Structure 1
Amino acid sequence: METTEALLRETADRLAIMEAKAAYCRYSDYLDVEGMLSVFTPDCEFRYGPDEDVIVGLDAIREWYHREVDRTVASLHLVANFEIDFVSPDRANSRCALHSWKRFRDQPEDRRRYVHYVEQWVRTGAGWKQARLEYQVIGETGTAEARGREHLGGDHAA
């Protein structure tokens, strides 16, 4: 049986992770690459889809984000349905659902995307930071080659 102190700490940690994710989304909506990177560890791993290479480290992730942000006019990211599993007092795995809307300079139609963020978080001296982010597209509209069903894995992906 967990003590009241342990439950309070886990609750505070859970909220801190959720707030860090909300900040990441706000930075994304402001097209603020440095803000988005502020929630990552220096050696963070980022994977944009099942067929994509893992991008490692802030410099490489920064380069990837700039390619995306530089073509974006406006965006909105909404997250919900958080599931957070503490694997130790200083490490957590999480999953949440994302609904995003984006308007691009080089694309006539707005994109709406539905995603699972699959993440690993670590406690650092500066608070909870994301050590891994995987992006699994469930479905989308507004693109020539729609992605989807990636959360089901393997043969189910669109």
Structure 2
Amino acid sequence: MNGTTALLQQTADRLAIMEAKAAYCRHADRLDVEAMLSVFTAGCEFQYGPGSEVIVGIDAIREWYHLEVDRTVASLHMVTNFEIDFVTADLAKSRCALHSWKRFRDQPEDRRRYVHYVEEWVREPVGWRQSKLVYQVIAETGTTTPRGLEHLGSSSAA
């Protein structure tokens, strides 16, 4: 593959990864767990912040997502600041920023969360799928147990 062809392929791959992440956010806003899971590999690894258990596989991630989604009334996920590095032609590492808003059935105040998604993506026959997701909360409001900055080694939440 010559330089121009490789650059075009990598540009197309970046766009495909960004579109898959946008689709994931749209599915999250529709509270559609099954559609959210469609962007993951079967053996995807998910970690909700440093020190949290790594959840492996679609079934385990589904169960974890339902704990949150089933009590959610409405949500909005916005992602930006994408950085995508290709390890190989079929493996990419990415990072992007998330700002999310959620309204819950069992909580009086809306939650706003600011997060870094740190991810790995692999090319499968059906397209790019996420094989690893680390959810790094920077700050949040509207919760009795605020999280933030754990991944930066801070002893206090923002």
- TM-score calculated relative to the size of structure 2: 0.96
What's the secondary structure of 1:18's corresponding residue? helix
- Aligned partner of 1:133 in structure 2 is 133
Distance 1:157 1:51 in 2: 15
CA distance in 1, matches of 2:4, 2:151: 36
**Percent of residue pairs identical:** 75
Corresponding residue of 2:9: 9
The one-letter amino acid of 1:48's match is: Y
Consecutive unaligned residues in structure 2, runs of 5 or more: none
* CA drift at 1:145: 1.4
Q: Give the conservation status (yes or no) of the 8 Å contact 1:116–1:151.
A: no
CA distance in 2, matches of 1:85, 1:157: 31
Offset, 1:51? 2.5
Quick check: 140-149 or 19-28, which moved more? Answer: 140-149
Deviates more, 1:83-92 or 1:44-53: 44-53
Name the CA distance, whole Å, in 1 between partners of 2:90 and 2:155.
34
Map of 1:33 onto structure 2: 33
Instruction: Note if contact 2:73-2:105 (Cα within 8 Å) is conserved in structure 1.
Output: yes
Match of 2:64 in 1: 64
Cα deviation 1:50-91 (Å, max 9, x = unaligned): 131000000000011111110000000000000000000000
Q: Any idea what SS the aligned residue of 2:50 has?
A: coil
Looking at structure 1, the residues matched to 155 and 97 of structure 2 have their Cα atoms a distance apart, in angstroms, of 19
Q: 1:15, 1:151 → 2: CA distance?
A: 28
Q: How many residue pairs were aligned?
A: 156
Residue number in structure 1 paired with 2:122: 122
- Structure 1 unpaired stretches of 5+: none
Give per-residue Cα distances to partners, 1:87-112, cap 9 Å, x unaligned: 00000000000000000011000000
CA distance in 2, matches of 1:125, 1:39: 13
CA distance in 1, matches of 2:155, 2:82: 23
Q: 1:156 to 1:6 in 2, by over 3 A?
A: farther
RMSD across aligned positions (CA): 1.1
Matches within 5 A, 1:67-78: 67-78=67-78
